Chains A and B, each alone.
Chain A
């Protein structure tokens, strides 16, 4: 089976210009933050926002500079930081998204998709067609669900 048959197509998408505040409001009733695709005009996938990006943007600028430095001992607690209310409007999706991300092609077999996710420690990935048009999101749970259905477990 290919990922296009198992993926979720009805997904909330955001634009580069969406503000942090609007993004948070969009997902406030979800019981966990899903992987959020960032779409340009003509439906091109230009980035993704994950929980990691959200945590990262709440951290200080200093700790970002130090991310790649050894012995920096950056162990920042997000509760320790001062933050101003205006950052809700000032920070845009463009500032926080990962522009260099992993995506799956629609015809990738589920087995391959699963091993890619394990290798990169991801539990969800975006799915695109050959022209990089966004099609949907596939998660490890979708793959498991298809597998158990096939075996008659559920």
Chain B
């Protein structure tokens, strides 16, 4: 007798449900609970979910969940609302996100290059380190809203650091998704064209991938807006919205271009060109919790003790690179944009939490057939970095808000 995919999904959802509840009770975001339960269910610990399912048969869930994430992120780009955002937020976000990426990428390159001096194994460096550096760097731009939000609410923080922090986080995930989509395109071309390497191909091909993905998403968006008018109830609207997201993900995967960008373009078109388009996002609310629960628990189940023996060091490097990148980048951005002094000094510390999007994007990469030689290392390194991060980052955010004088009431956090 073997655990089938549906039994696995059932176990993941029910286990995740309890994980989420316990995490909330002890003051962590639900996502952390899902991840921990996933780790417990993984082949390396309780071995309740077979490895075959985790690495292969349940991949469709990853595509489904990330499709929904990308659609919602695309939908958060409502142009009229974006115009109202303060100008310095744009600069700060750009600087902190790109410098986090840059620092992580450089550290990974350095860390990977060092051993080649002794063993001369250049292949590992070229085929694993370079694409990993690109991809991990891109993913590192993301910041988890839940942890920051929880701290702000617990301590009733308010002030210019708090508002800047919230606005920057709101843009961070979208930037991480765009960066990652671009990094995947470049890494794919890098690994695929090792023999006939040329600089123009290196940048032209990814550019074509990216533009084609966006065009497919945009056209699907207009199509969705028009056919959604036939829907008579909220339930039928969900049918067509969900169908269109899956269509977009599927067709871009078939063409081996970027599902993330296509679905983001779909969400972007719907929110900006559709009439009462908010309904087209609200319908997703009804299903997102269950999909995210199975998704993140499944993500945790990718935990592999063997791989983790090497991956923890990579995770540590990612954390280090990301911390220094976010900290210095936020400082630089705030100076360039002329933000207030508290923002310059403490914003970087507030931007350190990460979880959901980070893990999500690393799973997407792991199931890409071009990246199989480092898939498990990447996912486990990211898992390690999330776990390390989960322990260090929230206290630092708290410290930043406290030092900035924006936590006024110094009370014990209320336990829910």
Q: Which residues of A contact B (CB under 8 A)?
A: 60-63, 65-66, 68-74, 76, 80, 82, 102, 115, 118-121
Contacts and interface: CB of A to CB of B under 8 A. Distances in A.
A34 to B, nearest CB: 21
B146 A73 contact: yes
Contact of B153 (A62, A115, A119): A62
B279 A72 contact: no
B200 interface: no
14 contacts: A62-B153, A66-B145, A66-B166, A70-B173, A70-B356, A71-B31, A71-B144, A71-B357, A73-B30, A73-B145, A73-B149, A115-B232, A118-B232, A121-B279
A30 B300 CA distance: 51
A119 B237 contact: yes
B276 A72 contact: no
Contacts of A63: 149
B152 interface: yes
- Judged by DSSP, the binding face of B is helix
B156 A70 contact: no
Given A76-B153, A120-B279, A65 B233 contact: no
Given A65-B167, A82-B156, A71 B145 contact: yes
B69 interface: yes
B98 interface: no
A69 B234 contact: no
A65 B166 contact: yes
Nearest to B150: A73
Interface residues of B, number: 37
B146 A72 contact: yes
Query: Which 8 pairs, one residue from A and one from B, show the smallest C-beta to C-beta distance?
Result: A71-B356, A68-B76, A72-B145, A73-B146, A65-B166, A70-B72, A69-B145, A115-B232
Contacts of B30: 73
B149 A66 contact: yes
A65 B237 CA distance: 26
A101 to B, nearest CB: 9
A119 B356 CA distance: 32
A71 B356 CA distance: 7
Contacts, number: 72
Contacts of A60: 153
Interface of B: 29-31, 69, 72-73, 75-76, 78, 144-146, 149-150, 152-153, 156, 162-163, 166-167, 169-170, 173, 231-234, 237, 276, 279, 281, 288, 292, 355-357
B355 A70 contact: no
Contacts of A71: 29, 31, 144-146, 292, 355-357
Contacts of B73: 70
B31 A119 contact: no
A118 to B, nearest CB: 5
Given A66-B145, A70-B72, 10 more contacts: A62-B152, A68-B76, A70-B173, A70-B288, A70-B357, A71-B145, A73-B145, A73-B146, A119-B231, A119-B279
A58 B169 CA distance: 23
A68 B149 contact: no
A102 B166 contact: no
Contacts of A121: 234, 279
A62 B152 CA distance: 8
A70 B170 contact: no
